[in-house]
Amino acid sequence: MVPQQPGLLPWRTVLANARLLLDVNRAANPADAADTVALLHEVGLGEFMSAYPHELSGGMQQRVALVRALTLHAPLLVMDEPFAALDEITRSEMRGILNRLVEGRGVTVLFITHSISEAVALSDRVLVSSPRPSRVVADIAIDLPRPRPIDVEDEPRFVELCSRVRHALHRGMQ
């Protein structure tokens, strides 16, 4: 699970926070646990392994939380608006990192977001829900090729899919 707030422990370094799930219950660690150091390098935090959370930007903290969640090789990764507090540039960068990290790793991501473009950029399928009481009002297949290029948001098909999601959202609010 990767929540909105990274939930890093202030007294643990980046590496120690990324290894938290592995350290908590060592006896239950999967034999194929990910190499935390390699994952930190993959997300661009190789130089920050000895840093503490207060020394990191919000995007860097979210990358640590993402690495922490991926270390156990769980088949499902639930992400609850993890990029909501980030600026648009960092948010876009994080979408690219997430797409790269999960590509080919056999993990299904359930990603909750209020951003239409984020939903389309990250998903193979978007479920649109209505306001209270919440119910699924649309199930839209996202047929963009994988791996997703960094400039996927410039493609006409991307814009068309965003429009479909937006219209479904508006219909669901009526």
Q: Under DSSP, is residue 87 helix (H, G, I), strand (E, B) or coil?
A: coil
pLDDT tens profile 34-67: 789 999 999 999 999 999 999 999 999 999 999 9
CB atoms within 10 A of CB 104: 9
Contact 122, 95 (CB under 8 A): yes
> For 80, phi and psi rounded to 5 degrees?
-105, 95
Query: How much is the mean pLDDT over the chain?
Result: 91
Which pTM was predicted?
Answer: 0.87
The C-alpha atoms of residue 14 and residue 12 are separated, in whole angstroms, by 7
- More confident call, 54 vs 32: 54
Residue 4 is given by DSSP the state S
Of 146 and 50, the structure prediction assigns the larger pLDDT to: 50
Give the pair of three-digit tokens for residue 116.
């239409």
